[in-house]
Amino acid sequence: MNSSSLPPSEWEELLAGEAIGDLDTSELERLDQEFASGRPDSSAELMRTAAALDLALAGAEDDAMPDHLRRRVALDAVKYIPDANSNSAGVELASDQQPHATIPLRERVAWLAAAASILFAFGTWALRERSGGNGPGDAIVAMDFGKERANLKATEDHIAVQWAPGTTPFETPVAGDVVWSTTEQKGFMRFVDMPINDPTKEQYQLWIIDPARDDEPIDGGVFDVTAAGEVIVPIDAKLKVLDPAAFAITIEKPGGVVVSTQERLPLLASVAN
């Protein structure tokens, strides 16, 4: 019910002007005074009418949003949409079960959020330039790369970071680390007690978060774990890595994905001081 003192036709025209966006300052002030406690229902109805007309006049074709803008919008979304699958409490609880983790918990959680945000941005950016992920046959089969890993670890510029629980940790703790050399563009993941996957149903995929390069995580390769105990998997970075900030493991459909929704992100290794 409208309680305005203005004649209906006059306030309705002002509301129409507001919906169009053509009110001048004095008209807007007048409208605000008349409806100090809130606009009447007809205001929303006129706005819907203007929106519908705008849609009608726009036709079916829109210009595509620029990719960089889409990425920024997706990054923002993480801040404003509560994650229904959030499991940060699980990360904290599980942290005690990661004896090799050397990064302070608070920092690790912050990195987790940052890395997840970047991954999410990548996922929602959804550049579909490539027709699909890696083919199932391209998956790296986990095997003994222990000697090569040891050699790499002997180099001066290598980094070694421990795995910590991601946003959706495994039911049982998984230990291990990532050894990476930016100079050699080579690295290995080591997992202890990583669940064996069924490659016909799902595969693991590594993502390398490298803000020095871009906000887009780099696809680090799809792989399977076929044996219990310790397994070592070579990293298969699809792009040159400049300064990795974190490594994240997601579980994806067979063949992996170009765009990860991060619904399952069990492990994260953050490179932090």
Partner 1 sequence: MTESVLTRIASGDRTAVDDCLDRYGGLVWSLAKRWVGNVDDAEDAVQDIFVELWQQAGRFDPAVAGEATFVAMIARRRLIDRRRKQSRTPVMETISVEPVDANADHGTEEILVRGEEAAQAKECLGKLSPTQQQVLTLSVHHGASHASIAGKLSLPLGTVKSYARRGLIQLRDCMRLSADAVDAAGLVASGPSANVAPTGSRS
Query: Of 204, 205, 203, 208, whose CA–CA distance to 180 is shortest?
Result: 208
Contacts of 192 (CB under 8 A, 6+ apart): 174, 175, 176, 229, 230
Report the residue number, 21 or 229, with the smaller CB distance to partner 1.
21
Q: How far is the CB of 227 from partner 1 (least distance, A)?
A: 32
Q: What single letter denotes the amino acid at residue 90?
A: G
Among 11, 19, 149, 176, binds partner 1 (CB under 8 A): 19
Report the residue number, 84 or 154, with the smaller CB distance to partner 1.
84
Query: Of 229, 94, 88, 113, whose CA–CA distance to 164 is shortest?
Result: 94
Q: Does 11 bind partner 1 (CB under 8 A)?
A: no
Stretch that binds partner 1, among 78-86, 137-145, 173-181, 206-214 (CB under 8 A): 78-86
Q: Which of residues 180-209 bind partner 1 (CB under 8 A)?
A: none
Among 39, 72, 153, 264, binds partner 1 (CB under 8 A): 72
Q: Is 48 helix (H, G, I), strand (E, B) or coil?
A: helix
Among 101, 112, 118, 124, binds partner 1 (CB under 8 A): 124
d(CA 102, CA 249): 19
* Token pair belonging to 35: 């409806």
Q: How far is the CB of 165 from partner 1 (least distance, A)?
A: 19
Q: Does 28 bind partner 1 (CB under 8 A)?
A: yes
Q: What single letter denotes the amino acid at residue 66?
A: P
Q: How many CA atoms lie within 13 A of 21 on its CB side?
A: 4
Among 47, 110, 114, 239, binds partner 1 (CB under 8 A): 47
Q: How far is the CB of 2 from partner 1 (least distance, A)?
A: 9
Q: Does 58 bind partner 1 (CB under 8 A)?
A: yes
**Is 224 within 8 Å of 194 (Cβ atoms)?**
no
Stretch that binds partner 1, among 82-90, 177-185, 232-240, 242-250 (CB under 8 A): 82-90
Cα end-to-end distance, the chain, whole Å: 62
Residue keyed to tokens 């994806």: 252
Report the residue number, 46 or 251, with the smaller CB distance to partner 1.
46
